[in-house]
């Protein structure tokens, strides 16, 4: 179905052209089967909770594990925030080349912020497009909060979800709020099924202009974060546009949330959306990331019959 795809240039052009050509055929061919038993077997004796939602884009096929549990969003919320920022651009409320003045004295200095490493002056300015790159591709916490200031804060993002009809999500605080105390990381949450719905709407090009759609796709494709999560479970010839989320760890070794959600574009033009959330993990950070990679691999193998 043509409405389920948008043409991308460069590396993604061939894959997306195949998607366009094969879209109707998806409706008649056999759907991919994803048995959940191999995924559940990975969770044996694990001290954590996993939420999984997968959909084969262009079909009605979905697979879910704990889809109605609430999981801490962490930096995954920078994906819908970027959609809302770009919606403002499409509506003429913001411009991508609009300069934003930044004073580092008003920012968090003890947080993940590649932006502050790149820009050491007390005062500097960046464009909205540059802030999006820092927030989405590099998951910069300060850039995220600056963008929130441009669109009305967390409440505006919550309202955007309401407007989309996606109700199983809560956005209450920004990155500054998330950094105040460990328990604050549970304030923003989403259910895996809701995350999947947002990915599906994004891929179906229902939310943004073609230019904004392409920009956000590229930013998610280029992100270097989470290389040991979803990315580690797919083949080298597949494309992954994704957004990660990572919590801090409390004194007892508890990880509030380690996440990765995105869209995998297969070489034959098919695509699937996948959202993996892990909460309340007492496993090590490396083992938790490895579990996400293993689940990703099981899903990829189901789609490629490897």
Overall number of domains in the chain: 1
Question: Residue 8: what pLDDT?
Answer: 39
Question: Residue 36: what pLDDT?
Answer: 85
Instruction: Read off the CATH number of the domain in which 66 is found.
Output: 3.40.710.10
Question: Residue 305: what pLDDT?
Answer: 84
pLDDT in tens, 244-288: 999 999 999 999 999 999 999 999 999 999 999 999 999 999 999
Which residues of the chain fall short of a pLDDT of 50? 1-30
Question: Residue 161: what pLDDT?
Answer: 98
Tell me the C-alpha distance between 257 and 193, whole Å: 17
Question: Residue 68: what pLDDT?
Answer: 87
Question: Residue 22: what pLDDT?
Answer: 32
Contact 52, 275 (CB under 8 A): yes
Tell me the C-alpha distance between 294 and 231, whole Å: 10
Question: Residue 60: what pLDDT?
Answer: 84
Q: Helix, strand or coil for residue 267?
A: coil
pTM above 0.85, yes or no: yes
Catalytic residue IDs: 75
Question: Average pLDDT, whole number, for the chain?
Answer: 90
Question: Residue 306: what pLDDT?
Answer: 59
Contact 297, 109 (CB under 8 A): no
Domain residues for the domain of 15 are: 2-304
Tell me the C-alpha distance between 306 and 147, whole Å: 42
Report CA-CA distances (Å) from 176 to 72, 75, 164.
16, 12, 26
């Amino acid at each position: 179905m043509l409405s389920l795809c948008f043409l991308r240039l460069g590396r993604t052009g061939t894959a997306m052209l195949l998607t366009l050509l094969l879209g109707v055929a998806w409706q008649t061919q056999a759907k991919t089967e994803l048995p959940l038993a191999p995924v559940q077997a990975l969770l044996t004796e694990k001290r954590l909770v996993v939420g999984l939602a997968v959909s084969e884009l262009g079909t009605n096929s979905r697979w879910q594990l704990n889809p109605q549990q609430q999981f801490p969003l962490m930096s995954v919320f920078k994906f819908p925030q970027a959609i809302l920022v770009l919606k403002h651009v499409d509506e003429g409320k913001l411009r991508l080349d609009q300069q934003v003045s930044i004073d580092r004295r008003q920012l968090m200095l003890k947080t993940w912020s590649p932006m502050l490493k790149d820009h050491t002056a007390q005062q500097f300015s960046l464009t909205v497009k540059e802030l999006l790159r820092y927030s989405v591709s590099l998951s910069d916490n300060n850039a995220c909060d600056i963008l929130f200031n441009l669109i009305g804060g967390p409440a505006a993002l919550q309202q955007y979800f309401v407007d989309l009809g996606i109700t199983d999500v809560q956005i209450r605080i920004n990155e500054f709020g998330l950094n105040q105390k460990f328990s604050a990381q549970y304030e923003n949450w989403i259910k895996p099924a809701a995350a999947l719905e947002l990915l599906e709407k994004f891929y179906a090009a229902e939310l943004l202009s073609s230019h904004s759609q392409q920009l956000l796709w590229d930013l998610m494709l280029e992100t270097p974060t989470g290389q040991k999560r979803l990315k580690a479970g797919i083949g080298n010839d597949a494309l992954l546009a994704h957004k990660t989320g990572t919590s801090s760890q409390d004194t007892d070794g508890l990880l509030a949330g380690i996440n990765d959600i995105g869209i995998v574009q297969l070489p034959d033009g098919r695509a699937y959306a996948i959202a993996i959330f892990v909460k309340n993990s007492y496993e090590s950070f490396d083992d938790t990331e490895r579990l996400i990679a293993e689940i990703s691999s099981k899903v990829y193998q189901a789609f490629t019959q490897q």
